Amino acid sequence: MLLSDLLLEGVISENKPHDTSLSQMLAAIRRHLKMDVAFISEFSSGNRVFRQVDPQTPDNPVQLGAGDPLETSFCQRVVDGRLPELIPDARLNPVAAALPPTHALPVGAHLSVPIRMEDGSVYGTFCCFSHAADDTLDERDLSMMRVFADVAGELIERERKATRRREEISSRLQAALHDDGLAIVYQPIYDLVQHKVVGFEALSRFISGPERPPDIWFSEANEIGLGAELEARAVRMGLQGLTDLPADVYVSVNMSPEHILEGTMDQFFKGKSLHRVMLEITEHAVVEHYDDLVRKIRPYRDRGLKVAVDDAGAGYSSFRHILHLMPDRIKLDMSLTRNIDGDTSRRALAAAFARFSEETGSSIVAEGVETAAEMHTLQALGVTRIQGFYIGRPVSLPAAVQLCAADPANGIGKLH
């Protein structure tokens, strides 16, 4: 069986856990070579530990997780050259015959090859043996074992790197999850008709660790299963602004459909007044079960929660969100509003969103507005609420309170 055959049979797959692929490789080599036992050992602190064992072997004398001193094993002697990698009959080899397992198990034919890591170090061995001798084994069988050992090494190396990455991400996230590594800033949302700030989007800023965009932090948190916890902390901190901001100003917080479906909303929305809360549905991935998402959100909408779809115009998923969720707000992505004053296609799409909002009773907020020309173009298209650096950058909560107290007669200039 060649490596290509393993790929075709699905033994090795990017989508499978490495343990599953290794177990299937052991089963494949055992069947092909007509062996009785197949396993992968790891050399650790002077011991040989059985890290993977073919689970299809009945009455297997090799137990997963068990171990023994390296010096008593075939494996150590194969790696240091005292035993050959291919032994047709262990009882006829003086070194192998002197080892107790040869007679206790017993071991007849034996094949074992080192598993090496990228740095050249020996992880352990890829092994199989039969209770009876087998003189038909040849160099081709040994070559196949080496191929399997190389693939096993790649899978183990990949898992090691993934484990190190998870540990590094977890370490970076600890301050954000439990200490003072996460801060919230508030970006104003300005109403061009009322000439005032009507709301703020609560945005996360990570104080500790490397300086990177917030979406990278959240993506990594999701990667290691901490996404819901981090998102919940950000929402909870963002909603604290409601206490200090004026009663006619709302706060918009971001949540992904995945975590809404998991019930994360219950932590901070249950039993609270929601008339000043805007929930922005984020995520560019396709939602498979919109009915469940709508059902999860409905009780909170009945109590005043408003729903916005973020990043409209940035991808297909945002259109699906709009059609299925019937949001109160549609937030035009900055990729659509940027340079809209000089781009006919962008104006046409923004106008279509504005017309859609009129038909459905929703409203539009344009994000990423950075120039007066962009603002005036959007206003001419019927977009009356805008957000972006031209209006105001994200600020601390005290500064946000001051913005709300600014005299509306001073207009947008007061926010700069």
CA distance 42 to 112: 13
In this predicted structure, the answer to whether residue 416 has a pLDDT above a threshold of 60 is no
**Cα separation of 253 and 276, whole Å?**
11
Tell me if 415 sits within 8 A of 392, measured CB to CB: yes
* 3-state helix/strand/coil string of 385-405: EECCCCCCCCECHHHHHHHHH
pLDDT digits (tens, 9 = 90+) for 305-330: 999 998 887 766 778 888 888 999 99
Beta strands 110-116; 329-332: pairing state: unpaired
Could you tell me which residue, 271 or 394, shows the higher pLDDT? 394
pLDDT confidence of 54, banded at 50, 70, 90?
A: confident
Amino acid at 400: A
Q: Where does the pLDDT of residue 7 fall: very low under 50, low under 70, confident under 90, or very high at 90 and above?
A: very low
Model-level pTM? Answer: 0.78
DSSP-derived secondary structure letter, 63: P
Mean predicted confidence (pLDDT) in 4-14: 51
Does the pLDDT at position 298 exceed 80?
A: yes
Nearest to 235 by CA among 254, 260, 217: 254
Does residue 187 sit in helix, strand or coil? strand
Domains of the chain: 3-163 (3.30.450.40), 180-415 (3.20.20.450)
pLDDT band, very low/low/confident/very high, at 8 (cuts 50, 70, 90):
very low
User: What whole-number distance in Å separates Cα of residue 282 and Cα of residue 325?
Assistant: 12
Average pLDDT value for residue range 271-283: 88
Pairing of strands 122-129, 37-44: antiparallel
- Arithmetic mean of pLDDT, 89-110: 95
How far is CA 225 from each of CA 14, 66, 233, 319, rounded to the nearest angstrom?
A: 19, 30, 14, 27
Q: Report the pLDDT averaged over residues 75-99.
A: 96
Say if residues 395 and 416 touch (Cβ distance below 8 Å): no
In single-letter form, the type of residue at position 42 comes to: E
Mean pLDDT computed over 78-101: 96
pLDDT 10s digits, 220-260: 999 999 999 999 999 999 999 999 999 999 999 999 998 89
**Cα–Cα distance, 289 to 261 (Å, whole number):** 9
pLDDT score, position 413:
52
pLDDT digits (tens, 9 = 90+) for 138-189: 999 999 999 999 999 999 999 999 999 999 999 989 888 988 899 999 999 9
- CA dist 329 and 341 (Å) reads 22
**What pLDDT does residue 3 have?**
47
Nearest C-alpha neighbor of 303 from the set 338, 263, 276: 276
How would residue 303 be classed by pLDDT, with cut points 50, 70 and 90? very high
- Residue 4 has a pLDDT of 44
- The beta strands (E) that lie in 298-391 are given as 306-312, 329-332, 363-366, 385-386
Q: Which of 38-42, 269-273, 318-322 has the highest mean pLDDT?
A: 38-42
Tokens of 78: 């194969």
Q: What integer pLDDT is reported at residue 312 of this predicted model?
A: 82
Per-residue CA distances from 199 to 221, 291, 381, 411 (Å):
28, 29, 21, 15
Q: What is the pLDDT of residues 118-131, one digit of tens each?
A: 999 999 999 999 99
Q: Which residues of 249-270 are buried (b: 16+ CB within 10 A; e: fewer)?
A: bbbbbbbbbbbbbeebbeebbe
